[in-house]
Amino acid sequence: MIINLNKFGSTLISRPSGKEAFLAFSPTLREVKLDEKIEVDFSGVEVLTPSWADEFLTSLINSFGKRVILKNTQNASVVESLKILNLI
Amino acid sequence: MDKGLISIGKASKLLGISVDTLRRWDKNGKFGSVRIGTKGNRYYRKLDIDLYMNDQLAIARKWALSTASYEPETEHFCKTRDVFQARLEHFQSDLVKNLNSNLSSLISAIVGEIGNNSFDHNLGNWPDILGIYFSYSLSQKKIILADRGLGILYTLNKIVPNLTTHQEALKIAFTKIVSGRSPENRGNGLKFVRNVVIKNPISLFFQTGDASLTLDKHRSEVEIEKADESINGCLAIVQY
């Protein structure tokens, strides 16, 4: 499965919106097969904060562990947010 | 034309205030323009734009310091998180036209983190006025954020009970992963802000209560100073 984060917006900053994003996407995540990888694509994300990332990505990784793969993480705010959350 | 004059459209972008609001302020004398040409097009002096921003800092400080509770003018006041999000997106779209995309995304991220911190830590507990003051000037490269919330000492005291001063609380907030919303796994927001500021051409002044700090490339260590006047909540000034 590929999750295009830009479908949640290009300015991903607050905890409530990160939490809401994860909850809203949860029904789709139920379709993931046992050995399926989940690619999280950051293309098109202009601004990311650790608050949003913690609510969405940490929850995702808690559920799927190493099956979560982060792609196109070049944006500077994405890099810094992932670093402080020890996700890269 | 005088090089010190700028169009109303550019003034609108620089100040983050709509053209309609600038026209209204011109009509009622709040912020006057210079009328040029047969159509009387509105222009603004660069000096006036800079002075306006200095006024905004004074207004934000006054609001944070005031013992009387009141809502600031609506153009810079975000009563809810949704309003802040919308204004931050507008800010980001203007900023990216003036700066490289990496720096603009980092600046927007730290402004977003500081602003949302105010909402996160005061939800249901605002002492008097709900919301944050958020003002910026692209010409002065300055962003101002303020709230009349509980402040960092009160927030952290719930999980670090032996804290007694704003100075200690501010230092912890910027250096240790401790969350005022324990037991949730939080508390990295201001560390993130510090990491970004000290590695980039950005400076940050942050005050809570009577404690303040200044961070930039040359001042990466958190050195807390005692401010002359104690504020309610938090005041942040980001420059780039």
Give the three-state DSSP class for B57. helix
Band (B175; pLDDT cuts 50, 70, 90): very high
Supply the pTM of this predicted model. 0.88
For B39-54, the pLDDT digits (tens) are 889 999 988 888 887 8
Could you tell me which residues are beta bridge partners of residue B139? none
Q: Does B187 touch chain A (CB under 8 A)?
A: no
Q: Does A34 touch chain B (CB under 8 A)?
A: no
Q: What is the pLDDT of residue B174?
A: 95
Could you tell me which residues are beta bridge partners of residue B134? B145
Which amino acid makes up residue B11?
A
Q: How far is A81 from chain B (nearest CA, A)?
A: 7
Query: Taking Cα atoms as reference points, which of A87, A6, A85, A81 lies closest to residue A42?
Result: A6
Q: Do A13 and B192 touch (CB under 8 A)?
A: no
Distance CA B67, CA A80 (A): 38
Q: Does A61 touch chain B (CB under 8 A)?
A: no
The residue ranges of DSSP E strands in chain B, in sequence order, are 5-7, 34-36, 41-45, 77-78, 132-137, 142-147, 203-215, 225-239
Which amino acid makes up residue A10?
S
Band (A51; pLDDT cuts 50, 70, 90): very high
Q: What is the pLDDT of residue A44?
A: 97
Q: Do A16 and B108 touch (CB under 8 A)?
A: no
- List CB contacts (< 8 A) between B120 and chain A: 15, 51
